[in-house]
């Protein structure tokens, strides 16, 4: 439990010189869209005024769930168990637009790019990507 809540704090692995600048920009954007990234030391929601590219402060997201409930859902050709609060968890991590496909650029130093709704739907309709290339 996190700060006497029923929720959990999920740290984000921000490493200086590796992915910190990209993760900072993404985390700030997700918070603008309803995400819940917070500073580890003060528990403040991050914003452009308290968290900037280059800051070494670590962040994480607050997951307002107790993870006691799981449900089985279809996943491509099989089923998997996911938390009953999965919508709330994904919103905390990626904001209200978590269902929209984004381009990750293939490495940890490339900023995530939001795709158009049309492109997002095209990718989702094409089915699963292979695990190994």
Residue 128 CB coordination number (10 Å): 8
Cβ–Cβ contacts within 10 Å for residue 61, how many?
25
Give the confidence band of 34 by pLDDT, cuts at 50, 70, 90: very high
Q: Are 97 and 29 in contact (CB under 8 A)?
A: no
Q: Are 80 and 24 in contact (CB under 8 A)?
A: no
Which residue has 């704090």 as its token pair?
Answer: 9
Task: Please report which confidence band the pLDDT of residue 104 belongs to, taking 50, 70 and 90 as the band edges.
Answer: low
Looking at residue 23, what is its pLDDT? 83
């Amino acid at each position: 439990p996190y700060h006497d809540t029923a929720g959990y704090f999920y740290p984000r692995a921000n490493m200086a010189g590796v992915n910190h600048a990209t993760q900072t920009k993404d985390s700030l954007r997700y918070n603008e869209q309803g995400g819940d990234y917070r500073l580890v030391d003060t528990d403040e929601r991050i914003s452009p005024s308290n968290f900037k590219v280059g800051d070494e402060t670590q962040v994480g997201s607050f997951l307002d769930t107790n993870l006691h409930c799981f449900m089985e859902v279809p996943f491509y050709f099989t089923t998997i168990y996911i938390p009953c609060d999965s919508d709330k968890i994904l919103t905390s991590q990626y904001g209200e637009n978590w269902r929209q496909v984004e381009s990750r650029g293939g490495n940890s130093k490339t900023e995530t790019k939001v795709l158009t709704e049309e492109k997002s739907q095209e990718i989702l309709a094409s089915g699963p990507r292979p695990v190994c290339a």
